[in-house]
């Protein structure tokens, strides 16, 4: 008798080309990203509002602090990964984040008003440090669970979990901030990170089960410590032309997002007076982005990548941003900037981000956990701080001046994405790319 695919498997296969044996792992991954990004999305508008409390005219100082903190955390993360089994280490990452949020909750409930600016700065720097780390850990785990072929089909669908969390988080902020206050939202976020740690443990067990059953996934184990020292991530990065291309692509992407963020923050500060109103404005933008993105991720990303290829996915945002910045030059007002932020992030989350994460499925496990962490944290934050200081010099001339800078960066971004995509597409075997 022929094997019959379960009805539930047929449904998921028709929606996003998910095979029956992959359903549990994919749904756990989606749920994992939902709680992770949802928990972060609750405190992200709080972090952004704290940036305005410190002062957008001094935002480059916060970016510098974040870069320094990231440079410290990256080798610490790599060193711990070399000493603790990955199946135990990964949940600990989210547990530490949950505890740290509780510590800041205590600070925000006890500090005097005149100290708020400095506590706000400390909170902004810490959230900006761990936010890239926790998302990097998620996608590292995904590239260590699903192989190259699976990633093309599944990463867009899995990314929808984060987008759904990104809808729930800002929605909670918008609806609750005026009634329960920022401090209660921080408690909700901490609880969410606790759930995330539990889901990581469950998913690690699912990877082991799939491998024992002979199902085709990444042929790696989480029941091991990564050998080496805390600075291996930097060594691996500079030894690989492929990883350096990835770092250059992310650096230019970061410059673009930082330019838009500073432009938008400047106009939000001028448009809204209170911290709560600014939090609500950021939350509304986040809610709009994630609402538009989720449909594409669930039903379109996998098909888009399959039809047009990874290279096309990498080139979507550079093309969009050249056109968008030219629009800002002609109309540098809040609604235009807000609309550009929405379009940029929808394109990034629905296509560019899942596509970029697929690139790590063809590197070795050590590079995934160590070099990827350096790229996603230190390189990213170097992009932040360098773009912030350049932007601080240009901002006095208006957001239109920043837009011209943005056009130049987007034009440079395009060829890097083109070369990187072609290098990935040229890989024809299972040997890790260098």
Single out the residue of 134, 187, 49, 39 nearest to residue 380, CA to CA.
134
Contact yes or no for 85/224 (Cβ under 8 A): yes
How far is 432 from 434, CA to CA, in rounded Å?
A: 7
Q: What is the mean pLDDT of the chain?
A: 81
Contact yes or no for 269/43 (Cβ under 8 A): no
pLDDT at residue 114 in the model: 36
How far is 212 from 210, CA to CA, in rounded Å?
A: 5
CA distances from 289 to 283, 314, 345 (A): 10, 19, 7
pLDDT at residue 341 in the model: 74
Share of the chain above pLDDT 90, in %: 16
CB neighbours of residue 95 within 10 Å: 15
pLDDT string in tens for the chain (434-residue length):
444 445 555 676 666 677 778 888 989 999 999 999 999 988 887 888 787 777 766 777 888 888 888 888 888 888 888 888 888 888 999 999 999 999 988 887 876 543 577 788 888 999 988 888 899 899 989 988 888 888 888 888 898 898 888 888 877 877 777 677 777 888 999 999 999 999 999 999 988 888 877 777 777 777 777 777 888 888 999 999 999 999 999 999 888 887 777 777 777 777 777 766 777 777 777 777 777 887 777 776 777 777 777 888 888 888 888 877 777 666 666 667 677 778 778 888 878 888 888 888 888 888 888 888 889 888 988 887 888 788 777 767 666 777 788 888 888 999 999 999 988 888 755 555 66
Identify the helix (H) or strand (E) that includes residue 311. helix 310-330
Single out the residue of 413, 207, 201, 419 nearest to residue 311, CA to CA.
419
**H helices of 331-377, where?**
334-347, 353-358, 365-366, 372-374
How far is 256 from 8, CA to CA, in rounded Å?
A: 41
CB neighbours of residue 147 within 10 Å: 17
pLDDT tens, residue by residue, 323-363: 777 776 666 666 676 777 787 788 888 788 888 888 888 88
Contact yes or no for 399/328 (Cβ under 8 A): yes
CA distances from 187 to 51, 100, 126, 193, 417 (A): 20, 11, 16, 10, 40
Single out the residue of 232, 37, 223 nearest to residue 134, CA to CA.
37
Which residues, including other chains, have CB under 8 Å from residue 327's CB and lie 6 or more apart? 336, 340
End-to-end CA distance of the chain: 46
Contact yes or no for 152/306 (Cβ under 8 A): yes
Exposure string over 399-424, b if 16+ CB within 10 A, otherwise e: bebbbebbbebbeebbebbeebbebb
Single out the residue of 334, 113, 370, 116 nearest to residue 229, CA to CA.
370
Tell which CATH classification among 3.40.50.300, 3.40.640.10, 1.20.1250.20, 3.90.1580.10 matches the domain 17-425: 1.20.1250.20
Residue 132 CA to its chain's centroid (Å): 6
3-state SS class at 358 = helix
Burial class (CB in 10 A: 0-12, 13-18, 19+), 110: exposed
Single out the residue of 412, 396, 391, 410 nearest to residue 64, CA to CA.
391
CA distances from 95 to 129, 198, 296 (A): 15, 9, 31
pTM of the model: 0.77
Exposure string over 301-327, b if 16+ CB within 10 A, otherwise e: bbebbeeebbbbbbbbbbebbbebbee
Contact yes or no for 19/9 (Cβ under 8 A): yes
Contact yes or no for 432/363 (Cβ under 8 A): yes
Which residues, including other chains, have CB under 8 Å from residue 325's CB and lie 6 or more apart? 340, 403, 404, 406, 407, 410
pLDDT at residue 318 in the model: 86
**What phi and psi values does residue 6 have, to the nearest 5 degrees?**
-55, 145
How far is 186 from 183, CA to CA, in rounded Å?
A: 5
pLDDT at residue 2 in the model: 42
């Amino acid at each position: 008798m022929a094997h019959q695919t379960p009805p539930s498997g047929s449904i998921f296969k028709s929606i996003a080309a998910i095979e029956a044996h992959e359903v549990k792992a994919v749904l756990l991954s989606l749920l994992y990203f939902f709680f992770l990004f949802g928990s972060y999305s609750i405190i992200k508008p709080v972090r952004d509002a704290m940036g305005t409390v410190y002062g957008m005219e001094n935002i480059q100082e916060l970016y510098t602090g974040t870069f320094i903190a990231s440079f410290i955390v990256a080798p610490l993360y790599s060193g711990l990964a070399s000493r603790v089994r990955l199946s135990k280490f990964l949940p600990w990452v989210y547990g530490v984040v949950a505890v740290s949020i509780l510590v800041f909750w205590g600070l925000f409930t006890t500090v005097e008003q005149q100290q708020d600016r400095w506590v706000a700065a400390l909170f902004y720097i810490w959230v900006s440090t761990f936010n890239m780390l926790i998302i990097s850990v998620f996608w590292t785990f995904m590239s260590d669970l699903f192989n190259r072929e699976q990633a093309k089909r599944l990463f867009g669908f899995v990314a929808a979990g984060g987008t759904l969390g990104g809808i729930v988080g800002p929605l909670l902020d918008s609806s609750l901030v005026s009634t329960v206050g920022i401090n209660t939202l921080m408690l909700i976020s901490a609880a969410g990170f606790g759930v995330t740690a539990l889901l990581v443990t469950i998913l690690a067990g699912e990877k082991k089960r799939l491998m024992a059953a002979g199902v085709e996934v990444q042929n790696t184990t989480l029941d091991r410590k990564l050998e080496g020292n805390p600075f291996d991530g930097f060594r691996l990065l500079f030894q690989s032309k492929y990883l350096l291309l990835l770092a250059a692509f992310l650096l230019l992407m970061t410059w673009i997002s930082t330019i838009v963020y500073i432009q938008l923050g400047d106009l939000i500060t001028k448009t809204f007076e209170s911290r709560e109103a600014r939090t609500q404005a950021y939350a509304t933008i986040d809610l709009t982005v994630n609402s538009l993105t989720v449909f594409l991720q669930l039903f379109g990303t996998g098909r888009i990548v399959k039809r047009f290829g990874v290279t096309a996915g990498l080139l979507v945002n550079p093309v969009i941003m050249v056109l968008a910045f030219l629009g800002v030059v002609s109309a540098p007002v809040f609604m235009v900037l807000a609309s550009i932020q929405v379009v940029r992030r929808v394109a990034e989350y629905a296509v560019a981000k899942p596509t970029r994460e697929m690139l790590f499925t063809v590197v070795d496990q050590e590079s995934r956990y160590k070099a990827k962490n350096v790229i996603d944290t230190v390189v990213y934050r170097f992009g932040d701080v360098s773009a912030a200081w350049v932007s601080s010099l240009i901002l006095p001339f208006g957001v239109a001046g920043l837009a011209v800078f943005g056009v130049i960066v987007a034009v440079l971004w395009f060829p890097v994405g083109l070369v990187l995509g072609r290098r990935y597409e040229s890989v024809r075997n299972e040997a890790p790319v260098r």
